[in-house]
């Protein structure tokens, strides 16, 4: 069930970006916000990498877009392209799926250094569902502002 909901939200983010040009994907919502659909895709690549590879799998790797752990860098999509952003995001999603598939149970623990606590794979999956759901709400408004498209 967790996998299905997480994949639903991943697919929703991709759907919100379907049919748009790079320029449209980089269009900001409204001043003073600089949030864009492409920035959300880049951000979710960081989220996938952080929670599955760094926390659950214990990999000592930099973020996708920052080697100084600056999570805000991903939101800046001013020079980004669909192909670059989606390639990074899709690669991280595949790593996440592999880690989840290979886990012995949802009770597998990883360490979240930012929280200073161990967390289960179950919590990580729930956290990502929450993160995608929140950002998919942002994506709804961004897409509507670009071309009027609304809905699932």
CATH code for position 29: 1.20.120.450
**Confidence check: pLDDT of 152 > 70:** no
| Residues 57, 129 contacting (CB under 8 angstroms) | no
- pLDDT, mean over the chain: 94
- Say if 81 falls within a structural domain: yes
- Say if 30 falls within a structural domain: yes
pLDDT tier, 31 (very low <50, low <70, confident <90, very high otherwise): confident
pLDDT of residue 61: 94
- Say if 100 falls within a structural domain: yes
Q: What is the pLDDT of residues 87-111, one digit of tens each?
A: 999 999 999 999 999 998 999 999 9
| CA–CA distance, 113 with 13 (Å, rounded to integer) | 28
Q: What is the pLDDT of residues 36-64, one digit of tens each?
A: 999 999 999 999 999 999 999 999 999 99
The angle, 0 to 180 degrees and rounded to 10, between the axes of the packed helices 37-48 and 2-17 is 150
- Say if 152 falls within a structural domain: no
- Say if 39 falls within a structural domain: yes
- Say if 8 falls within a structural domain: yes
Number of domains forming the structure of the chain: 1
**Confidence check: pLDDT of 77 > 70:** yes
pTM of the model: 0.94
- Say if 96 falls within a structural domain: yes
Three-state DSSP at 131 gives helix
| CA–CA distance, 134 with 9 (Å, rounded to integer) | 10
Residues 6+ apart with CB under 8 A from 112: 55, 118, 119
- Say if 10 falls within a structural domain: yes
Residues 6+ apart with CB under 8 A from 93: 10, 48
The range of the structural domain enclosing residue 100 comes to 2-147
Three-state DSSP at 119 gives strand
């Amino acid at each position: 069930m967790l996998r299905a909901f997480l994949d639903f939200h991943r697919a929703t983010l991709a759907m919100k970006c379907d049919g748009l040009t790079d320029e449209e994907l980089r269009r900001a919502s409204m001043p003073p916000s600089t949030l864009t659909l492409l920035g959300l895709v880049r951000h979710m690549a960081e989220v996938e990498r952080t929670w599955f590879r760094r926390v659950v799998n214990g990999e000592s790797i930099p973020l996708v877009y920052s080697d100084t752990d600056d999570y805000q860098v991903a939101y800046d999509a001013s020079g980004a392209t669909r192909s670059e952003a989606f390639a990074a995001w899709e690669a991280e999603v595949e790593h996440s799926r592999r880690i989840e598939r290979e886990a012995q149970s949802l009770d597998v623990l990883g360490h979240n250094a930012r929280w200073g606590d161990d967390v289960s794979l179950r919590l990580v999956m729930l956290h990502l569902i929450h993160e995608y759901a929140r950002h998919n709400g942002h994506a709804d408004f961004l897409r509507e502002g670009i071309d009027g498209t609304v809905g699932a």
